[in-house]
Amino acid sequence: MKLPPGRWDHFTVLTVETDNQPFNTISDAGLLAGGNQLLVQSAHGWEWLAFTKAVLIGPNQWQLSQLLRGLGGSQIVDIPGGAQIVIVDERLRRPELALDETGVELSWRPGGGTAQTYKYQAKAAGPWPVGHLQAQRQNSGLKLSWSARAPNISNHLDRDGSAYEGVYHVRLYRYGQLHENHIVRQTHLRVSPRYDLAEIAEIDINGSFGPWGSIPLPAV
């Protein structure tokens, strides 16, 4: 199975400390079958990732590497020191909630512990961030392109999503100032070479925006 460029991270090594939780090195096939998955918290939310290599370096301390990033539509982020992690396995359960409970403050008692108030936002039901942002020189201009990402297009592990119909908001900047907005129904746009940054987000049928992706634009 061919994986898109940028999703495999062969350089980042995570050093984690756990409470008597062992990790194992697995094959690429084992990872793609759902093994060795983590949620990692950052200032931008939670990234869902997986790893193939685990090395014990001290009591309850591990180095995790050979990562597959941005699973489940999560954003690939810079992971800060001291970030919290959650192990994704059969112990992690998805709550069964009715549609009208979205956005309502509910009382939760995780694992039989102390009750907490939490508002379920159903973020996974919204648009995913676009992927594979590219800017290519064409004659005297630039072609900006990207790929759709959604649960029904196989998480982009083996196809590019070009048949997926979506609506996208494109913002074009020059020297930090917003100059143009475009609403498009295709995954590409020809833009002027005078801009130096583009941002793209998908818009769903309710008008909600997915996370913004950005790419610097090369000078022509």
DSSP lists the bridge partners of residue 16 as: 62
Largest Cα span, the chain: 63
DSSP lists the bridge partners of residue 108 as: 116
Cα–Cα distance between 130 and 160 in angstroms, integer? 11
Tens of pLDDT, residues 175-200: 999 999 999 999 999 998 899 999 99
DSSP 158: S
- Upper half-sphere CA count for residue 212 (Cβ side, 13 Å): 9
Q: Tokens at residue 179, please?
A: 């100059």
Domain parsing of the chain, residue ranges: 1-91, 131-216
Residue 1: which pLDDT band, with cuts at 50, 70 and 90? Answer: very low
DSSP annotation string for 131-178 = EEEEEEEETTEEEEEEE---GGGGGGSS---TT---EEEEEEEETTEE
Tens of pLDDT, residues 130-141: 888 999 988 778
Assigned architecture for domain 131-216: Sandwich (2.60)
Cα–Cα distance between 24 and 22 in angstroms, integer? 7
Q: Return the H-helix or E-strand segment holding 30.
A: helix 28-32
Q: Is the pTM of this model over 0.75?
A: no
Strands of the 141-147 sheet, one edge to the other: 131-138, 141-147, 188-191
Cα–Cα distance between 198 and 63 in angstroms, integer? 36
pLDDT (mean) for 26-47: 91
Q: Tokens at residue 92, please?
A: 């992690």
Tens of pLDDT, residues 84-103: 999 998 888 777 788 788 78
Question: Is the dihedral angle over the CA atoms 192, 183, 160, 164 positive or is it negative?
Answer: negative
Contact 34, 49 (CB under 8 A): no
Tens of pLDDT, residues 139-151: 778 999 998 887 6
Comparing C-alpha atoms, which of 201, 197, 195, 202 is closest to residue 215?
197
Return the number of other C-beta atoms located less than 10 Å from residue 39's C-beta. 18
